[in-house]
Amino acid sequence: NEWPFFRVTIDLVEMVFAKGNPGIAALYDRLLVSEELQPLGDKLRANYEETQQLLLQVAGHKDLLEGDPYLKQRLRLRDA
């Protein structure tokens, strides 16, 4: 919180995670990826979720974009 560069970097990574959608990636995997490669997608999505939880811990947030309600609202409208 006291180092602006770090705070801005965490905020940027948080925004990237908020824009990501592992559910869409799973759909692409089911439709387009061979069966032998599907476990790789599962592992990547699990890593994504784990990293997201660690990011929230570092940011001190319970939800993504907790510090930017305007962007959070815009993304929610986009996804509706």
Mean residue pLDDT of the chain comes to: 93
Q: How much is the pLDDT for 23?
A: 93
Helical axes 4-19 vs 69-79, angle rounded to 10°: 10
Q: How much is the pLDDT for 79?
A: 84
| H-helix segments, the chain | 4-19, 22-32, 38-59, 69-79
- What's the pTM value of the predicted model, to 2 decimals? 0.83
Q: How many angstroms separate the CA atoms of 64 and 59, rounded?
A: 9
Mean pLDDT, residues 37-64 taken together: 96
Write the CB contacts of 2 (distance below 8 Å, at least 6 apart in sequence): none
Confidence check: pLDDT of 49 > 80:
yes
Q: Whose structure tokens read 């925004």? A: 15
